[in-house]
Structure 1
Amino acid sequence: MEDGARPSPTLVGQIAQLERLDASLVERLRHEALTAPAPWKAEYGDYQSGGWWTTSLMNASGAAGDVRIGDCTARSTDLLEHMPVTAGLLADLGLSYMWVRLARLEANAFLWEHRDYDELNHVERHRLHIPLHTNSSAFLVTGGTKVHMTGGRIWRLTPTYAHGVCNLLGPDRIHLIADVYADDAYRRLADGSQKPPPGAETLPRASQAELADKLAAARRLADLGYADAAEQLLLRLFYSIALPEGAGYDLIADLHTALGDTEAAARWTAAKDKLLARTS
């Protein structure tokens, strides 16, 4: 962590490490994730740059290609039948699963700032991550703090906080992700063992002048005919500087307003409302 930088005091409420996993078990899980005949699907296109793929291990239908999550009593998919070590871990944890997926994020790929669960029933649930294949340039940003989710542990993410993920250089980042309902088994896993993420780095805050410079740079790209690149430049600010919630989307709307494209400005304002909808 940089000198003077400290994680937000509420960071552990957003992301935390839970119990440690045996290294040999993690290696066997990783081998299964890399070799199983997974039907990877690119879903939730509004949330990503491209390069984010998922496949289901437990869901409502039992089909691995069914990856749009929803409330259900999850059952094993056809893919999990090819992954006995993973199936054994999920059984041993004894949790009440809503959905279990493998998620793969390629190099130079981003999940844009968003929050999850708004479309689901308002019951207590939690998201668990087990990193299986990762690198130091793959990280999550939540609350203006950058966190690399290291292997060897179960992590708990609270995705109702605005967050985003990137993999800058590769190789692919692959996580086992389980959305679970809160019950006694979950509380035994989580209670008393939640640790702040090591190496968390508070992102620097940008001044209004710096943001104006970024907007001007995006305007120059747009004027040259590279509107998509201009939008990406502004979206990626979320991963390098601490911004107020939704500020990247606001900057894009401001860009299009300055260009006289009110339709595009309205579209990005609507995207902000959709991606950052708050659960009640």
Structure 2
Amino acid sequence: MDSTLTGQIAQLDTLDFTQLERVRQEALTTQAPWKAEYGAYQSGGWWTTSLMNASGDAGDVTIGDCAAQPTQLLEQMPATAALLAELGLNYMWVRLARLEANAFLWEHRDYDELEQVERHRLHIPLHTNTSAFLVTGGTKVHMAGGRIWRLTPTYAHGVCNLLGPDRIHLIADVYADDAYHRLARRPALHPTAAESLPTADPAVLAERLETARGMAALGYTEAAERMLLRLFYAYALPEGTVYDLIAELHTSLGDMEAATRWTTAKKHLLALTD
């Protein structure tokens, strides 16, 4: 597997099945204050709740640098607390993230707003299905259960759950230390976990843009935008292409305000500088 890709997404250590099942049951049954946050990054249907953060409030889900402390939610989840303690990592923030069926996290980058120190994002899939996958580097990756995965979110990436059921991951943002480096000493990505997306022919993109124009002309502008955004999950595209297509859509319709809004959104979501 390409080392460039394993730098973006990789499998780390395996987890004990019995322990993982206890954590999964807690995630499925504990009453959690799920919050919809980062609305500009998603289609709707992506929810989070905090297990460790700065305030101890599970409803505080906007991540930031801190010395994380357990929330009241984690205190109700002893198996999850035991797993986190056993890993012995230096936690910045720990969340449960739930992605509903037919929900998308749009192409974006993370960490740009945080302090410039070494940190990593770990995913532990608790409840998932094969139609839920991550796209990074023009490759779709289904994060299957049984392992800890490392995502490098400073690369442009997006996530979708096409058919359901809900995908629930435990996500831990951690500061690099000896415990992390021991965990990540042998990153790997099994070939069956990754699938290269096809390159989009310019004629295909032109056809999709024309379809979007027709939808917008009928008053379905938001649906047209979402159709273009979803191309990121079907084709290997140059970074930011879907946002450029939406800006081009609005320019062709004479709506320069909307075109500028999407050009600005591209810079924000992909952490681009002028």
Name the counterpart of 1:256.
250
Name the counterpart of 1:190.
184
Name the counterpart of 2:206.
212
Instruction: Provide the rounded CA distance (Å) in 2 between the counterparts of 1:198 and 1:31.
Output: 29
| 1:107 and 1:171 in contact (8 A); partners too | yes
Match of residue 156, structure 1, among 150, 175, 195? 150
Contiguous gaps of at least 5 residues in structure 2 = none
- Residue 240 (1) aligns with residue 237 (2): no
Name the counterpart of 1:270.
264
2:154 partner letter: T
| 1:15 and 1:197 in contact (8 A); partners too | no
| 1:167 and 1:173 in contact (8 A); partners too | yes
- Residue 226 (1) aligns with residue 220 (2): yes
1:97 partner letter: Y
Name the counterpart of 2:132.
138
| 1:115 and 1:278 in contact (8 A); partners too | no
Shift of 1:198: 3.7
Shift of 1:197: 4.0
TM-score (norm 1): 0.96
Shift of 1:89: 0.6
Q: Identity across aligned pairs (percent)?
A: 76
1:178 partner letter: A
* Correspondences of 1:1-280 after superposition (within 5 Å): 8-191=2-185, 193-199=186-192, 200-277=194-271
| 1:160 and 1:278 in contact (8 A); partners too | no
Distance verdict in 2 for CA 1:124–1:278, change over 3 Å: farther
Shift of 1:121: 0.3
| 1:8 and 1:145 in contact (8 A); partners too | no
Instruction: Provide the rounded CA distance (Å) in 2 between the counterparts of 1:8 and 1:139.
Output: 19
Instruction: Provide the rounded CA distance (Å) in 1 between the counterparts of 2:11 and 2:228.
Output: 31
Instruction: Provide the rounded CA distance (Å) in 2 between the counterparts of 1:245 and 1:25.
Output: 39
Shift of 1:9: 4.2
Residues 222-265 of structure 1, C-alpha deviations (whole Å, 9 max, x = no match): 01110000000000000000110000000000000000000000
Other structure's SS at 1:33 match: helix
The number of equivalent residue pairs is 272
Instruction: Provide the rounded CA distance (Å) in 1 between the counterparts of 2:163 and 2:97.
Output: 17
Instruction: Provide the rounded CA distance (Å) in 2 between the counterparts of 1:85 and 1:278.
Output: 40
Instruction: Provide the rounded CA distance (Å) in 2 between the counterparts of 1:197 and 1:266.
Output: 41
Other structure's SS at 1:10 match: helix
Instruction: Provide the rounded CA distance (Å) in 2 between the counterparts of 1:139 and 1:253.
Output: 26
Contiguous gaps of at least 5 residues in structure 1 = 1-6
Q: Quote the RMSD (CA, aligned, Å).
A: 1.0
